[in-house]
Structure 1
Amino acid sequence: MNDLERKILTAIKQQPMATQQELAAALQLSRESVAGYISRLTQKGAILGKGYILPNANNIVVLGGANVDLTGTSTANFRMGDSNPGVVNQSAGGVGRNIAENLARLGNDVSMLSLVGHDHRGRFLIEHAREVGISTDDIIQHPDFATSSYLAMNNEQGELVGAIADMAIIDQLTPALLADKLPRLQAATTLVVEANLLPETLSWLAQQKLSAPIIADAVSAAKAPRLIPLLAKIDVLKVNRFEALAILKKPETDSSSVEQLIDELLAQGVGSVLLSLAEQGVMYGDAEHKYLQSVPACQIASDTGAGDALIAGYVHSLKLTEQIKPRLGFAIACAVATLESKDAVSTLLTETYVCQRFADFLTTTEFPLTELESHSNE
């Protein structure tokens, strides 16, 4: 951004309702010149579209899927091919949406860029997002496709016996549709993406001039290879072993060590890797460091959503400390808080709750608990 662009942006901040002619008079420029600079500032993401809407200083954009989860659990011995008495629950879900909710509950300014239908489930997701603190300005409602839905059936022991995923709408989140949202992506201070997006969408994203660090979730071994065109732009990649193997085009029987897999991902241009090892913890790796962080003891209620909380916790920790070990510790604490919840996103999750619930564990990772407590008391 050059000096004149900075002056125009400062003038807009001081008079956000000013017309281009009024800005031109104040800056002693022609209206045409001001219009041209405003157009360029919009392309750079310094202005968010019409009305001179300016982005917040710290804003996270999550680009990914949002769906409604419908779960039916039998209250009696489950009989296949028959109607079973039970309980049906509806909740908000989706990898990207779960990450966004975790970030919002941790106190971040987060916006969800996703696609829902013009239907009651789409309205449910938008309303739920607003309730938990996610900005919905960038959620697009598609006129022709139904909101993404996941229908699961569990037996009387809570074990999955069958499921149907209706998620065709996510394939409509194409480069053509996202082109109008490019200023929003360019204005983000952190961009979180996930592999439910189409390969061509991720390829398009790799071609854009974005200043924000990109955090990516591989989602599954089947979808992880979609991230390949984006690897050189990814600052933090969260994978498990099978997802790493899929990205590297290795068979599941490959005997490479965790360290070797991380090194190969780094060689593809990834800035750093969070490799989940389930109950064994998480291995972090970048060009200079490798750390294995174990998981604190906990009472597991459900493992759904723990990975989404892990990546959200790590993103949040970026503003809490510059040290890698404490960041990793905080991320794992967020994941464990979710393991202890029956919900995919723990309703207890806040920065304060995580620091209090896992104080002993975080101390072992040299997390700055004292500094945060002092800050919260100011």
Structure 2
Amino acid sequence: MLEDFKDYWLIVGGANVDVKGESTSKLLLGTSNPGTVTMTAGGVARNVAEHLARLGEEVLLYALIGEDADGEWLKQTTAKSGVATNGMIRVAGQRTGRYLGIHDSNGELITAVADMAVNEAWDESAIQAGLRQLTHAAGMFVDANLPKHVLERFIHEAKRLGVKIVADPVSVKKAEKWKGMLDGLYLMAPSIDETEVLIGTRIKSQGDIEKAAARLLEQGVQHVMITCGTKGVYLRSSGESAWLPSPKAAVRDVTGAGDAFTAGVMFAHRLTGSLTEQAAYGLALAGLVLSPQSSEAIQVNREALLQAAAAYADEARL
């Protein structure tokens, strides 16, 4: 069993089905539009788990799914990437989480609906089952799809055991759950909008971003990487501070960019102690996954990432 190994990541949070509708011509509201509809496996924690597994990491995912066909499909699909899915708990009477996004012909998100009620169904047995795995974990990733009281339980136990905690705000609304729980987090990589929620202040300039990262350090986050879209990433710790540019590769759909970035950073922390180099791996993986020229399933592997990270380092002149 995976639990017998010390070097696995415990990944806790959201797992859902993503349904994407994209029009083939100008999107008209209030009527039917010709286009394509695709279904993929999604959820922040699940995505991070899959990326890490494809990179050769040992990964155990804990997430709630419904007792339905979507849940079975999601579990089987996730297992194919190498993730240990015995922690994907099926909840009787619940639907598996589903995210529906509508995009225009340029890939721009127009609107979306998230049906994630299953994430509120954590009971004591599910919580205890997940907490037991922390004893053997080398690190934990946790996202804010969890109810706040569940987040608190996992964070408290991970701190007690000295397990490194990688935290994800997920969204502007869910980032509010992290208020008062930042102290002791090993890594957080929020967007600018999520950072505004975490520090309670508007960000209007590059200088504001740098000050915001410093404030997150003051609140107890050990390593901060603020993702700034096409402007790149600002990273800061007690010993490092730097701006890194976004990869130059064309990207059609940015959905999942943050998940790939975080997974790349988590993978790299075993390879290098440099925060700058870790962030470079994260940016390289995001560019690799989101490139429109190739399939994610084919591209994401250890060798491909090592090559992409080296190419990015040359591009960014690291």
TM-score by length of 2: 0.90
Amino acid paired to 2:222: G
| Residue deviations 1:224-271 (CA, integer Å, cap 9, x gap) | 121123311310011122211201122466996222111111111111
Aligned residue for 2:225?
Answer: 274
1:187 aligns with 2:136: yes
Aligned residue for 1:211?
Answer: 162
| Residue deviations 1:92-122 (CA, integer Å, cap 9, x gap) | 0111111111111111111110000010000
1:56: Cα distance to partner? 1.2
Aligned residue for 1:263?
Answer: 214
Distance change in 2, residues 1:155/1:310 (3 Å): closer
Higher mean C-alpha displacement, 313-322 vs 335-344:
335-344
Question: Which structure's relative contact order is higher, taking Cα pairs within 8 Å and 6+ residues apart?
Answer: 2
1:359 aligns with 2:315: no
Work out the CA distance in 1 between the residues paired with 2:303 and 2:63. 29
1:298: Cα distance to partner? 1.0
Aligned residue for 1:104?
Answer: 53
| Residue deviations 1:288-326 (CA, integer Å, cap 9, x gap) | 221212223212132111111110000000111222322
- Indicate the structure with greater strand content: 2
For residues 239-250 of structure 1, the aligned pairs below 5 Å read: 239-250=190-201
Query: Is the contact between residue 93 and residue 344 of structure 1 (CA under 8 Å) also seen in structure 2?
Result: no
Work out the CA distance in 1 between the residues paired with 2:284 and 2:274. 16
Aligned residue for 1:285?
Answer: 236
Work out the CA distance in 2 between the residues paired with 1:203 and 1:254. 33
Is there any run of 5+ residues in structure 1 with no aligned partner, and where? 1-47, 368-378
Aligned residue for 1:33?
Answer: none
1:296 aligns with 2:247: yes
Structure of larger gyration radius: 1
Is there any run of 5+ residues in structure 2 with no aligned partner, and where? none
The one of 45, 53, 56 equivalent to 2:5 is 56
Work out the CA distance in 1 between the residues paired with 2:191 and 2:226. 5
Higher mean C-alpha displacement, 64-73 vs 147-156:
147-156
1:80: Cα distance to partner? 3.4
Distance change in 2, residues 1:343/1:273 (3 Å): farther
1:72: Cα distance to partner? 2.1
Work out the CA distance in 1 between the residues paired with 2:240 and 2:56. 29
1:154: Cα distance to partner? 3.1
Work out the CA distance in 1 between the residues paired with 2:285 and 2:11. 18
Aligned residue for 2:261?
Answer: 310
For residues 222-241 of structure 1, the aligned pairs below 5 Å read: 222-241=173-192
The one of 111, 127, 140 equivalent to 1:178 is 127
RMSD: 2.5
| Residue deviations 1:52-87 (CA, integer Å, cap 9, x gap) | x85213100110101101122334554433344432
Work out the CA distance in 2 between the residues paired with 1:323 and 1:76. 45
Amino acid paired to 1:352: E
1:138 aligns with 2:59: no
Identity %: 29
Distance change in 2, residues 1:223/1:118 (3 Å): same
